[in-house]
Structure 1
Amino acid sequence: MTVRRLRVLEIGGVAAILLAVVSGCAAESPTPGATGDGSGYASGYRPPAPTELAPLRGTTIPAGSLTRPSLAAKVDNHEEARPQLGLERTDLVFEELVEGGITRYVAIWHSELPDEVGPVRSIRPMDPDIITPFGGIVAYSGGQEQFVEMMMATPVFNAVFDYDDTGLFYRDDVHDSPHDVIVKAAELVGRHLDLPSPGQQFAYSSVAASATPALDGAPTSSVQLRFSDARWPGWSWDSAGQQWLRSQEGQPDLDDAGTQLRATNVLTLRVGIDWSYGEVPKTVMVGGGEAWVSTGGKTSHGTWSKDAAGGVIRVVDDNGVTMRLAPGNTWIELVPDDQGSVEITP
């Protein structure tokens, strides 16, 4: 060990000893070029590969491994559209009220990308406010001209069944029309890899045990929601699988493989409804209201806010502190203030 220009202020000899020990430890640290094996580090040491968060799940991924754009799709939730394709692989799903008291989904894929998703249906007036923050691509079957124009006015790339002549959409032979339009999701995204990946939408904890509900939430066995007399989805906590299991109208909600749909996080937002479009309800997304975050068998109460169509949804607890979700997929339930209800069961 060599110590150059060692200057010691002696206080009973103690300082000199401490400096010598520190110098000795430094000499044993990995030293670039020490082994000559090309690694640049002693004893074959390699630093860990850099990582980052998947922006729509909060899971840890290798840095630079997820550069494709996200895909949002308007997915049908009519009884004749079930089981849907690809919902079990989403990062985020927004459930919204549409005419007739039924619901429809804005489903978003980024971390995983199925070959096909659907059935896809038409756009609605609240969808630009939901989808714009993600950028990327939106797929849908069409819609009223005014709603299509609203969606087309956003910076999101629109892939529309009614206008497609490239074979990206087709009608399957499993569902009856109009609940049968399928989009080739992987091919669609593959054609637009020049589009940027989405930004992070919610705050995430590093592990489930440090998510906001896990730290200070109330124990919860189920979350029962009512959008209308026609739609009342629910979520039950599965302690064995450590996930929420989804039901609709009292029955398990299944994917196309017969497995019950599940979520790591259930984010419930109370929302206003704008009836200025006649029988078509518009969920009011720019504004705010009451919120619940359900994670790890617990639920925390707070409020949500969104300041612009392109702004992200911010969720804070009753003390105004940003709530953190657990790493994993999330369903966002947009429950109407005027006709809906939320029941959190211990």
Structure 2
Amino acid sequence: MGVPRKFAAALAGAAVLLPVAGCSSTPPPAAGKIPQSASPTPATPTEKPPGHPFTGMPYSGEADPVLAVKIENTSAGKPQMGLRSADIIYVTQVEGGLTRLIAVYSSKLPKKLGPVRSARITDLHLLAQFGRPAFSYSGVQTKMIPFVRAASLVDVADGVAPSAYFREPGRYAPYNLFATPKKLLAAAPKATKAKDIGFVFSDTPPEGGTPRKTYSVRYPAARFTFGWSENQKRWLVWQDGKRDVAAEGGQQGAPTIVVQYAKTGRSQFHDVNDSYTPLVQTVGKGRAVVLRDGQAFEARWSRKNEKSGTEFTTKEGEPMPFAPGQVWVVLAAPKPIQP
């Protein structure tokens, strides 16, 4: 069904902001469905199709269900498959100072994706802003099961929807569990459709940016570097000094990278080696750095509660527009906790 949109249209030559809410080596394809005209009357030059709430890209206005998938992010699980089709990719810290990804899909789906890995407590708090998304993961530790059952999501883990999963040939367990997105959503008919999660998009960046060629984010046992490609108009991704290459070919990357600095502490959970599971505080407010168009912008983020989206503003308090297309949100501690 259609989702309310707020449009701030400026005078000729000014940017158009599309506030929307809801909780690669080649340029990412335009996400969303190109709208079909319901009448033979052509659109006037000032009319623009609605922007998808997760990407700002044109779509029909009929939102699709939200699917979130927990993806492996160490060298053992690379190259990952299906990330280039995601609308949003979250980077979160897990045990041992490593990271995993949450890939969020709505405007388009890959044929398959993976490797799918187990969920963490931060995921449950983060995903609530999307309503009740379908959540694909490979399991959780026993004492976290009640938290999953109480969370705002539709559970489509491998133990709940086994027919949606398969073992990818040429890979070894546990890094060979892949899933078919269409089957995952078929198992979640009541999953929430895409809605406004606080993102704002514009083809034109705001003023006040600082030219940057690279920007790095460090975790206790992982490092991300984002490098601006003028030819591709994207920030390409390096992890631990290596090009982050997609299984489909080409380097991972996106027009917008958001580094969201959020308080990170120890949760009540830990792994078999007694390494504590980090808990990222995604409700509240804090500093952010937004990378787009070869520039870095100092920003602020705020999220009132778990059902609210996350809003990003400039230093002056105005909405911080992202470049249309895929968005990476890198959740980083101001001072990363040690495992």
Corresponding residue number in structure 2 for 1:70: 66
Superposition map of 1:6-155 within 5 A: 45-47=41-43, 51-64=49-62, 67-134=63-130, 135-155=132-152
Deviations 1:114-140, CA, capped at 9 Å, x for gaps: 121111111101111111112321100
Which residue matches 1:245?
Answer: 236
State how far apart, in whole Å, the 2-side matches of 1:287 and 1:46 are.
Answer: 45
d(CA) in 1 for partners of 2:289, 2:144: 30
Aligned-residue CA RMSD (Å): 2.0
Map of 2:34 onto structure 1: none
Letter of the 2:180 counterpart: K
Give the number of equivalent residue pairs.
290
**Residue in structure 2 matching 1:272, options 248, 263, 267:** 263
Question: 1:262 aligned to 2:260?
Answer: no
* Structure 1 residue 191, shift from structure 2 partner: 4.4
Code of the aligned partner of 1:61 = Y
1:220 correspondence with 2:212: yes
Distance 1:280 1:205 in 2: 33
Q: Is the 8 A contact 1:119 1:181 kept in 2?
A: yes
Deviation at 1:273, TM superposition (A): 1.5
Give the Cα–Cα distance (whole angstroms) in 1 for the partners of residues 218 and 98 of structure 2: 11
Distance 2:201 2:125 in 1: 26
Q: Does 1:299 align with 2:296?
A: yes
3-state DSSP of counterpart to 1:188: helix
Q: Is the 8 A contact 2:255 2:292 kept in 1?
A: yes
C-alpha spacing 1:187/1:314, structure 2 compared with 1 (3 Å):
same
Q: Distance in 1 between matches of 2:66 and 2:199?
A: 18
Range with bigger deviation, 216-225 or 48-57: 48-57
Q: 1:231 aligns with which of 204, 219, 222?
A: 222
The whole-number CA distance in structure 1 between the counterparts of 2:327 and 2:91 is 11
Q: Which amino acid aligns with 2:158?
A: F
Q: d(CA) in 1 for partners of 2:181 and 2:89?
A: 16
Q: Percent identity?
A: 24
8 Å Cα contact 1:268/1:333 also seen in 2: yes
Q: Is the contact between residue 113 and residue 179 of structure 2 (CA under 8 Å) also seen in structure 1?
A: yes
* SS of equivalent to 1:254: coil
Paired residues of 2:156 and 2:187 also in contact (CA < 8 A): no
The structure whose residues are more often helix, as a share, is 1
Q: Tell me, yes or no, if the aligned pair for 2:156 and 2:188 is still in contact at 8 Å.
A: no
The answer for unaligned runs of 5 or more in structure 2 is: 1-38, 271-275
Q: Aligned partners of 1:293 and 1:251: how far apart in 2?
A: 22
Alpha-carbon distance in 1 for matches of 2:127, 2:311: 15
Bigger mean CA offset, 133-142 vs 183-192: 183-192
- SS of the equivalent of 1:118 reads coil
**CA shift in 2, pair 1:240/1:87, >3 Å:** same
Relative contact order higher in (CA < 8 Å, ≥ 6 apart): 2
Kept in 1, the 8 Å contact 2:127–2:152? The answer is no
Deviations 1:238-258 (A, max 9, x none): 001111100001110000033
Partner secondary structure for residue 115 of structure 2: coil
Q: Is the 8 A contact 1:285 1:306 kept in 2?
A: yes
Query: TM-score, normalising length from structure 2?
Result: 0.80
Q: Give the SS at the match of 2:50.
A: strand
